[in-house]
Amino acid sequence: MKAFRAPAPVEDSEEDSGVAYMDARLRQSSARDRADEAVEDAFARLAALSVEALANPLQHRELTGRDDDMVLNGVHLVEDACEGDFRAAVESLQADGLTFELTGPWPPYNFVKSSIESAR
């Protein structure tokens, strides 16, 4: 499951004051904080429906082919019986300027290392 956030719009201000600039930066920072919290909540919610969940490194736009920034590259090992609930949960996450994208199912190669370590 991947989550993307559209880049913050650049606001043209008619004011040349530092106050207008700082207000705009504060609004952007606040929006980023809300989005970060939404991503953390989404990952936790989906992890609860998973046997195992990991956050992989984020991919750059060149790899994703998208104009927006990836903010989560989550991989989830989901039992077949829970697939419908998992898909429904992903669909319900669209909020706060974030777009969630579900891909797969994929082979569980992301979890091989942890499986080997737990078998030792």
Q: Band the pLDDT of 71: cuts 50, 70, 90.
A: confident
Q: Band the pLDDT of 114: cuts 50, 70, 90.
A: low
pTM of the predicted protein model = 0.69
Return the pLDDT at 99. 85
Which of the two residues, 63 and 19, has the higher pLDDT score?
63
Q: Band the pLDDT of 48: cuts 50, 70, 90.
A: very high
In this predicted structure, the answer to whether residue 85 has a pLDDT above a threshold of 80 is: yes
In order of 5, 11, 58, 78, 109, the CA distances from 85 in angstroms are 24, 40, 25, 10, 22
